[in-house]
Amino acid sequence: MDIDSEKCLLDQGIICLGPATRGGCEARCITTNYPCRGCFGPAPKIIDMGAKMISVLGSIIDEKDETKMEQIVDEIPDIAGTLYEFTAGKSVLLRRKK
C-alpha cells in the first residue's frame, strides 16, 4: 500500500492511535509515515484509550450497511491488541466494580 504523506493515515485506512495518544515522541511515527502505536499512553483526560479509538474509528467509517461495516471492522487484525497494546492494564474492560 502506498502511503500519502500529505493525508492522515486514518483517512487512508491505516490504524493510527495518534488521536488518543499522549505526545512526547515529537511525532516520530507520523513523520516517517508509520502509524502511532500509543506507546506514551493515553492523552490527558482520556480514561480508556481503546474506547476512545473505537469512537474515532466509528466516526470515520462512512458506511451505513451493517454487513459492510462488519467486514471493515473484521479487516482490523487483533483490534483489542492493537488498541490496548500499551494500556490494557489501565483499561475499563476488565475492571471490577467496587
Per-residue pLDDT of the chain (98 residues; tens, 9 = 90+): 788 888 888 888 888 898 888 877 777 777 787 888 888 888 888 889 999 998 998 888 888 888 988 888 888 888 888 888 888 877 877 666 66
| pLDDT for the residue numbered 52 | 92
Whole-model pTM? 0.76
Inter-residue contact 47 to 54 (CB < 8 Å): no
Q: Is 40 exposed, middle or buried (0-12, 13-18, 19+ CB in 10 A)?
A: middle
Which CA distances in Å does 11 have to 31, 44, 48, 74, 81?
Answer: 16, 24, 22, 17, 21
Inter-residue contact 13 to 61 (CB < 8 Å): no
Grid cell in block for residue 98: 467496587
